[in-house]
Each structure stands twice: as C-alpha cells, then as structure tokens.
Structure 1
C-alpha cells in the first residue's frame, strides 16, 4: 500500500502525482477507468454537447425573446444590470466588483449599448459590440482617461446618472423603459430627472427565462456531469485504495487537480478572451464531525477513519452549465442509527425524483419529503429544505420549500439535498445532483452516479 506521505509528496499533480505516473493517469482518465466507474448508472437519452460554450446566436435569440415579451408589456427598452442576466442575454462572460457594468437594448431592435469600465474595454469591444460608453474606473473623475493621456483629478461622476444622461442623448427620454431589478427611490429619482419617467422592473421576465433551461443548455449541463461522474469515481477509488492513509483534504485537493486537468485537456482555448469561459470546478470532502453541519465553518483537514461518515461534494460548470454532485458515505463499522439516517435520507432523493413532475408545486414536493422524514422519526435531524433551483450563478428560484408554491415546469433544474444531520453523534448525511423537470414523467438525473449501498457504504 502507498503510504500517506508518499501520496502527499506528489499530490499537487493529482492522480499523476500519487500512485500512477502522469501518462498512466491521463490514459485512465481518458478511458474513465477504475473500479468505481463500473457502478455508473446506464446512460439515458440525453447526449452531452460537443461545444465548450453556448454560441452567441443562442444568446441573441434569448434577448430577442425577452424583448418580444417586454414589447407585450409596452416596454420600449430594457437596461440589464445583473451580471447573470448580462451573461445570459449577451454571452459576454465578465467579472463584477463595485464597478458599474450595464447593457441596454431597444426592444424593437435588440442590439447592445454597453456601459462599462476601462479595464473591461478589450472584453467588451471584442465581443458583440456596436455601441457603448466607457468610463475609466470607479470612482470616475470627470474627464480623466489616463490611458488616453488625460490625467486629472476631475469631479466624481455619478455613474448611474451618467448612464441615464447617455440614454437621453440617444433619444430614450419620455419612453417606457425597464430595468432588470427593483430600483431604490434614489435611483428612480435619477431616472426621472433625466428621462422623465420611472423604469419598471423586468426582473421577473429575466428570471422566468433563466429558470427554464433550453435543450442546448441541458446538453452542455450533461457534458459537465459526464466529467463530474469520472471525478467522483476517481475520488472514490482513491478512498478505497488509500483509506485511512488520507485526510479529507487530500481527497479534495487531488480530485480538484485531476478533474481540472481532465477537462482542460478537452476545452478549446488559446489563453485569449471568450474561450474556456464559464468553467469552474470545486471538489470538497469532509469526514467525521464536519459532516454533521449543513454549512460548517471549520476547515476540513481530518484523517479518514473507520466508523465515520464522509461526504465527497462539489460543483462543475462548463460554459456556465452544470451544478452540484454530492454523495454521502458511511465507512464500516457504522451503527444501526447511522445506517437508518443514511437510508431515510437516501430514500428522500428517490422521492424527490419521482414527485418532481411538471404541474406539481414546489411546496408539494417539499411536503412529501419532509413528511416522510418526520414519519420515520427524523424530525430532530431536519435542518433545511430539500432543494434549490440551479443556474449558472448557483442557487436560483424556484425552491423546493414549503412556502414556494411555484408550479414545476419542463426545463427547471433543482439540487437534490434532503439532508439529515446529527451533531450529537458527530455525523450527517447529505447529497446533491441535478434533477431536471421533464414534460412527462419523473425528473431526469444529470449524473450517472448511483445512490446505492454498493457505492456509498464502504469498508476500508
């Protein structure tokens, strides 16, 4: 058996830096090799996408649909201010800080008018760009543009009012406009002062579209989960092979590196903007008492031990599509109580899939899961709702919660988290995956990982 110190000595290289050499690791990854992969669920009828991101034509179609719906509301133009709305409706992946970054569309002829900081000028103008206004930075000094040789301590510019002035200059005063959020009174005052009327909220229209994933999104989602399956299999194989020689940190760090190398080998990229966008990979692992808390605040660097619970978790996205994947393990010997809590929680993942049918409310699915938990003596171990909606930003509406009466519709995506936690006995059980609502029948599971005892109840 490889000793823990030997594994750690090269853990920075993932699997290639532990038991196998680099070439063997890549070959194993390419084949999806390893004993755990043999336990994957059978493939279904959704193939993974061949692209690394949704094409610009997809984003342009989404903004056309939004604008058509806003025209029905009498809206002539819409200002997008939310990062995730901007990405969804324009395809421009970008980071946000305190800096103002907005885009405006006419609903009659949806072409972007950008309002952006100088540090993003190359990203903006090399993407879908026809018109725009740039300020230097937050806080912008009037007339100051050092990159143009204009270095001066100008008066601080109110950038929200600046956007309104620029819209007025383009002839948008006196027209019915919307913005993708509820404006504060002071923000509305600036709108009225420059444009002569308030902006209504289009937040609901934007979220309604983002909540319902298109077939193209679902195919890219599946591609992300195809990789995720293999990363989980790698982590489980490591656990089975090296067992108590490892810490939970070792598993998370090595799986993160291995998964990143696996996916990066396939993404088309040249180091320049607009390639390998929307990619994220985070693998986590916690064992022992750390599993007993839904959102623990302690760092996880604990030795794997027999008789404990262990969770392998994380999230993977490609082009912004993807989500969570957690599995809850018990390491032999476990108590009857641990096995019961594990079983009830696992059964709830099945209930969620079967009950998540188009036309049923979120609250009804949550009710049936919580009722099953309570009826089986688990009330003391319930800490949260069974699931949240899943989007590029992570959590998004709707929620499988007792107070959310949204009707389930085709294309909605949810996490799978009917967790149960017992801090007194130092363990907890929680899962996740993505379930997609289909036109008919139970939800589609995005991963191919089983929920079975064969996968999750292990002996080291």
Structure 2
C-alpha cells in the first residue's frame, strides 16, 4: 500500500486540533515549520528567519501567516486542501504583530515544540499578556495514536530500512573503516526509497559499547562485533529506525552468550505490548531479563521511544512512564548490553500496539549475523 497525502494528513485533522486546543484551555496554537506544522497540515515548510506560522485559535478560524515569497509554496502544499486562509506579509511588515492583532487577547498560546527561540521571544514581546506553553502538550494525544495511514507509512519505512540491513553483511569486511561502511549504508538508505538519511551508526569492537557512537576511522578487525543502527525519513515524512548486530567472523568469547540474553529481552518486551499495559512495564519486561543474567548495569538507556514524523517522539518506553499503551502507539523496542572498552549489542524493532497485541514493523532476522 502506498500512502497518499490524504491518508496521512486528513482534512478532519485541523478540526481535531482546534477541539484539543479548546479542551486544553489554550487560546491558540502557533505552529512554525517542523513536525507539529507538518502533522496538522502536511506542509513541510522551510524553517527560515522569516516567519511562517499556522495559527489555530480555540475559538475562530485558523490561518497561516507566510512570507510573500513563500506564498506559492504554501498554496501548492497539502495545507491548501484544508481551506486555511493564507495571510502573506511583506519584507518590511511585522508578522508577529500581525498574528497578535488577529488572535486578540488570550491568556495562553501554545508554541510549536521545535519553534526557534528567537521566534518564541518575538511572540512574547508581541503578546505580553499571553503565557506560553508547548503545543506538544495539546497535540501529544493526537500524535501518539497513529492512524491507519500513518501506520502504513511506518510499515513502508520499516520495509525500506530492512532492505538496507539485508545488504550490510556484504559491506562489513575486515580492513574497512567504519566511515567507509557508513558511507555505503547511507547510499543504500537513499536507494531504498528514503528522502533523507537521518543517522548511520557503525560501532565496531569497543565502539559498539557507545550507544550513539556513529562513525569513526577505526579499521574493522576480524572477530569484531559491529552494532549497526540506521534510519531515515521517507518522502511521506515518516521515519525508520532499526538496529542489528553483526560479527566479522567468529565473535569474541562470551559475546554470543550475552547476545542471546539480549535477544530474549527484546522478545519479552515486544510480547508485553498490548493495550492497557504501561510504557514502564514494557521497559521492565526487557530490563528484568537482562538484570537476571547479571547485566543490569550494562543496560544504560530506556527501552524505546515513539516514532512518526520524528525519529524520537512520545511515548517513551522508560521506567516512570505510567502512560497506558493504546492501539496506534508506535515505538521502538531496543534493549542493549554494553561492556565498556570491549564491545556491545542492541536489537531494535519498531512496534505498533494493535487492538489485541502488537505488530513488528521490522522483520529482518534478530539472530547474530556472522558476516
């Protein structure tokens, strides 16, 4: 199934956002370029020093302030289907005063989570009587619960990154550097259909014990375990993220044993996913297996993060998060074991909570792959 703009950004979403804004007691949402704006309208606007801002009042019609030179792009974006009024402004105008005048006096405004600081400060000066909160507090309930179209887009992203992992064993050779392998993987991510490469982690040998190592000029050696964590954004805007572990020849003593513990922990966490189960319970399902095997101190991060238009978004699968899972929640399940100075391992799949359980969106084998 190929998702369309209408699947991902339905015309009803704007009404849902306005209703959520009113329910939260926020006078208006102010959404500048970034994932919040794209979620509501489908418009992947350029982030510029010139203000582009969708205004969603709790009571009143939404409108979008755009620099006049960006008006053609806005009019040809998915936002045009929503019937939003475009309000262009000229180079010598003050768009912040324009927004403030049209919104009128309100007690609170919600600012896009990724709004630039200079823009939030300009809004504070233009609307001194309005308190500022994060728009994410209004949008989180909508963005966490993915629609059928969004899940289809994430499924496409999962299949695309799986196709890249299928090529990795042929790229990992003793004598190559992590950076050389990473360059080939980045090319494969684009060739598999992604619009952008968001990250490429190739952690060989001791570098595998650093979860966010990325790339270096270290030469991969025979016997090295290699953690490969990769992801990108599809043309739909939805993201991929998956980790597999490879060994260049036979792995070092003890590695296969703790890798098997990790595999069981990841399976246990995925099996725990179903509606009503808390986010922290999924984290505990993985953590308990690892701790019982004596590696509790070697699992140093949360079990997962939400994914959608951002690689990392709510919900977070971590101790202390009592949020109950609901159908449509999409997130990573990625426990890890890291032995500093030696090596490490992580297995990551994107999982969607369904009506009765879960669906994995990554389907490459999870066994240790000897390249």
Q: TM-score band, normalised by the shorter chain?
A: 0.7 to 0.9
What SS does the corresponding residue of 1:312 show, helix, strand or coil?
A: strand
Distance 1:302 1:382 in 2: 24
Name the structure 2 match of 1:18: none
Matches within 5 A, 1:285-304: 285-296=202-213, 299-304=215-220
| 1:227-272 alpha-carbon deviations (Å, 9 max, x no partner) | 2221111222343xxx3253333322223223423427xxxxxxxx
Of 116, 138, 163, 2:99 maps to 163
| 1:387-438 alpha-carbon deviations (Å, 9 max, x no partner) | 11112122111211112111111111111221111113x2111122211111
Distance 1:230 1:73 in 2: 42
1:316 shift after superposition: 2.8
Name the structure 2 match of 1:122: 72
1:304 shift after superposition: 2.6
What SS does the corresponding residue of 2:231 show, helix, strand or coil?
A: strand
Instruction: Decide whether aligned partners of structure 1 residues 62 and 279 sit closer, same or farther in structure 2, where only a CA change above 3 A counts.
Output: farther
Distance 1:135 1:430 in 2: 51
What SS does the corresponding residue of 1:320 show, helix, strand or coil?
A: coil
1:216 shift after superposition: 0.4
Long gaps (5+) in structure 1: 1-48, 137-141, 144-156, 265-277
Name the structure 2 match of 1:213: 146
**Higher fraction of helix:** 1
Q: TM-score, normalised by structure 2?
A: 0.85
Question: Aligned residues, how many?
Answer: 360
Name the structure 2 match of 1:402: 319
Long gaps (5+) in structure 2: none
Distance 1:181 1:219 in 2: 26
On the 8 A contact 1:323/1:433 being kept in 2, the answer is no
What SS does the corresponding residue of 2:127 show, helix, strand or coil?
A: helix
Name the structure 1 match of 2:51: 100
Name the structure 1 match of 2:348: 432
Distance 1:199 1:284 in 2: 37
**Higher fraction of strand:** 2
On the 8 A contact 1:279/1:320 being kept in 2, the answer is no
1:384 shift after superposition: 1.0
| 1:12-71 alpha-carbon deviations (Å, 9 max, x no partner) | xxxxxxxxxxxxxxxxxxxxxxxxxxxxxxxxxxxxx323x5328834221121223334
Of 164, 176, 179, 1:249 maps to 179
On the 8 A contact 1:344/1:373 being kept in 2, the answer is yes
Matches within 5 A, 1:205-284: 205-239=138-172, 243-263=173-193, 279-280=196-197, 282-284=199-201
| 1:156-205 alpha-carbon deviations (Å, 9 max, x no partner) | x5x5344213x1xxxx4256774246998995564255xxx657765322
Distance 1:279 1:108 in 2: 38
| 1:261-288 alpha-carbon deviations (Å, 9 max, x no partner) | 3427xxxxxxxxxxxxx65464442312
Instruction: Decide whether aligned partners of structure 1 residues 100 and 230 sit closer, same or farther in structure 2, where only a CA change above 3 A counts.
Output: same
Distance 1:123 1:409 in 2: 36
Q: Is 1:366 matched up with 2:366?
A: no
Q: Which deviates more from structure 2 when the two are superposed, residues 359-368 or residues 96-105? A: 96-105
What SS does the corresponding residue of 1:206 show, helix, strand or coil?
A: helix
On the 8 A contact 1:324/1:433 being kept in 2, the answer is yes
On the 8 A contact 1:54/1:217 being kept in 2, the answer is no
What SS does the corresponding residue of 1:436 show, helix, strand or coil?
A: strand
Give 1 or 2 for the bigger CA radius of gyration. 1
On the 8 A contact 1:121/1:134 being kept in 2, the answer is no
Instruction: Decide whether aligned partners of structure 1 residues 281 and 295 sit closer, same or farther in structure 2, where only a CA change above 3 A counts.
Output: closer
CA RMSD of aligned residues (A): 3.0
Instruction: Decide whether aligned partners of structure 1 residues 132 and 186 sit closer, same or farther in structure 2, where only a CA change above 3 A counts.
Output: closer
Instruction: Decide whether aligned partners of structure 1 residues 109 and 337 sit closer, same or farther in structure 2, where only a CA change above 3 A counts.
Output: same
On the 8 A contact 2:278/2:324 being kept in 1, the answer is yes
Q: Is 1:173 matched up with 2:173?
A: no
Distance 1:80 1:361 in 2: 30
Of 306, 319, 339, 2:222 maps to 306
1:122 shift after superposition: 3.1
1:221 shift after superposition: 1.2
Instruction: Decide whether aligned partners of structure 1 residues 116 and 384 sit closer, same or farther in structure 2, where only a CA change above 3 A counts.
Output: same
Q: TM-score, normalised by structure 1?
A: 0.70
Distance 1:404 1:73 in 2: 21
